Amino acid sequence: MKTEKQGSAKAPEAGRQGGGFAQKKTASQFQQQHAVSAKLLKRKHLEKPEFRGIVRIAGKDVEGHYTVREALRKVKGVGANLAASISKIVLNLGFVANELVGNLSEEEESKLEEVVKYPHKFGVKWFMLNRPKDVESGESKHLVMSDLGFALKQDLTREREARSYRGWRHSIGQKVRGQHTRTTGRSGMTVGVSKKAVKAQKAAAASSAQEKSAAGKEKK
């Protein structure tokens, strides 16, 4: 009985230790993901009294030590060229050059988010948008974050339902734009290409075809 009690007492302790270890591991991973790099730490002297460590731009949490242009690159749907254009636009709107995102006021943050979501209204050319001449609305617009992912899913679903070639290729998980697939983009059990095996298959197919033709001639 004593051994059973001891064993039952040790079991929850082991579970607690395991849970504590898991919590420590996740905490360390969280710290690594959100750790400020040495480059950003050098910008601490640029912090203002109202500085914020984490700023949310268009649904994306961004480290406050990034500049406006660097922070825009973190938003899904905003590339290097568009980020450069938006940073020039916000300078004309009264933003300070190379300002840290954490120093922005709530009004400036909302204005920046508006420029990111509707860049064409602030003079960005239509060919820099990721949704020019939308299929459903026919308008040129720019999508970011979850809206962009949802639109891409809708596009794939529409292609599949239309039974187009692109939709068929997407449905079977193959390349869409006419690329070669003998050595790249392969899936399944086939790993490599054996020339000997291919030659043997061709020889076997040729011999079987000859045998069939010979058998047909004999029957005639």
**pTM recorded for the entire structure:** 0.60
Q: Residue 5 corresponds to which amino acid?
A: K
What is the residue-wise DSSP string for 150-215?
HHHHHHHHHHHHTT-HHHHHHHTT--SSS---SSSS--SS-----HHHHHHHHHHHHHHHHHHHHH
What does the DSSP 8-state code read for residue 143? Answer: -
pLDDT digits (tens, 9 = 90+) for 156-180: 999 999 989 999 999 888 899 988 8
Q: Residue 117 corresponds to which amino acid?
A: K
Quote the pLDDT of residue 124.
87
> For residues 55 and 71, is the Cβ–Cβ distance under 8 A?
yes
> For residues 100 and 109, is the Cβ–Cβ distance under 8 A?
no
Going along the chain from its start, the domains and CATH numbers come out as 41-128 (1.10.8.50)
| Region of poorest pLDDT, from 82-86, 110-114, 194-198 | 194-198
User: Closest Cα partner for 89 from 72, 60, 70, 112?
Assistant: 112
pLDDT digits (tens, 9 = 90+) for 94-145: 888 788 888 888 888 888 889 998 888 888 888 888 888 888 888 888 888 9
